[in-house]
C-alpha cells in the first residue's frame, strides 16, 4: 500500500468495531473522518445534490453529479487508497455526512496535497480547518512527508482562509490554470513544510 499500510491507519485513525467503519479519525466530540466506502455513496451523493450551487461554484463536478458518478468516484478513491496514493475520507458531524476531505500523496517527492468541500449548512464553523489539521498531522507525523500543499481558486476566499489560518506560506499564483465553466481561473498555491509544522505544534 505504498507509504501507508492498513495497520498504520488503524493505529492512527483507529478502527470502530461498533459501527464497522473501516478507519475513523476522531477530530473532536462532534466531528470524525472516515475512509470513504461504497456504503457511503448514497449519503455522499445526497449532500452533493443538495449543495449543487454551493459546491459547484468552484468544483464543476457538483453541477452534474449523478448517483452512478458518485459510485464511480468512491470506487476510484478506494483503488487509490489500496495503491497507497490517496487517503479519501468523508467528514461526519454527529454521525451525519457533511463533506469530503482527501490527502493525495506523491511518494516519490514525499509530499501531498489536500482537497476538501463541505455542505453550506456547516460552513463557517471551523470544521474544515480542524479536519485539515488532522490530515496534516497524519501526513507529517505518521507518513513522515516533507511537504503538504493546498490550492484554491483565487476567488474562493473561504477555501483560501484555511491554509492561511493554519500557517501555510503563500507560494504563488498559477495564472488561468483552471477551466471553470466558460472562463479560466487563477489558482493560489499554499505550502507547508514538516519542519514548520513541528515548530508551530
pLDDT of residue 22: 58
Residues 168-190, mean pLDDT to the nearest whole number: 97
pLDDT of residue 41: 97
Residues 92-103, mean pLDDT to the nearest whole number: 96
What's the structural domain count of the chain? Answer: 1
Q: Could you read off the pLDDT of 136-149 as tens digits, one per residue?
A: 999 999 899 999 99
Q: Is 1 among the domain residues? A: no
E strands within the chain?
Answer: 24-26, 31-35, 86-93, 96-106, 111-118, 147-153, 169-180, 183-193
Q: Supply the CATH number for residue 52's domain.
A: 3.40.630.30
**8 or 136: whose pLDDT is higher?**
136
Q: Is 178 among the domain residues? A: yes
Q: Is 105 among the domain residues? A: yes
Q: Is 119 among the domain residues? A: yes
Residues 60-70, mean pLDDT to the nearest whole number: 97
pLDDT of residue 24: 80
Length of the chain in residues, anyone? 201
Domain hosting 11: range is 6-200
Amino acid at each position: 500500500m505504498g507509504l501507508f499500510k492498513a495497520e498504520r491507519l488503524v493505529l492512527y485513525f483507529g478502527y470502530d468495531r461498533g459501527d464497522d467503519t473501516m478507519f475513523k479519525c476522531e477530530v473532536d466530540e462532534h466531528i470524525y473522518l472516515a475512509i470513504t466506502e461504497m456504503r457511503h455513496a448514497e449519503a455522499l451523493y445526497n449532500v452533493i445534490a443538495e449543495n449543487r450551487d454551493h459546491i459547484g461554484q468552484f468544483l464543476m463536478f457538483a453541477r452534474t453529479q449523478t448517483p452512478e458518478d458518485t459510485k464511480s468516484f468512491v470506487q476510484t478513491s478506494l483503488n487509490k487508497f489500496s495503491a497507497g496514493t490517496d487517503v479519501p475520507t468523508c467528514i461526519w458531524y454527529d454521525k451525519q455526512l457533511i463533506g469530503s476531505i482527501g490527502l493525495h500523496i506523491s511518494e516519490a517527492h514525499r509530499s501531498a496535497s489536500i482537497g476538501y468541500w463541505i455542505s453550506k449548512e456547516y460552513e463557517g464553523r471551523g470544521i474544515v480547518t480542524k479536519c485539515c489539521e488532522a490530515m496534516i498531522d497524519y501526513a507529517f507525523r505518521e507518513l513522515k512527508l516533507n511537504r503538504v500543499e493546498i490550492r484554491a481558486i483565487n476567488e474562493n476566499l473561504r477555501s483560501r482562509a484555511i491554509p492561511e489560518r493554519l500557517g501555510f506560506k503563500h507560494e504563488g499564483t498559477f495564472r488561468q490554470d483552471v477551466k471553470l465553466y466558460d472562463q479560466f481561473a487563477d489558482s493560489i498555491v499554499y505550502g507547508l513544510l514538516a519542519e514548520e509544522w513541528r515548530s508551530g505544534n
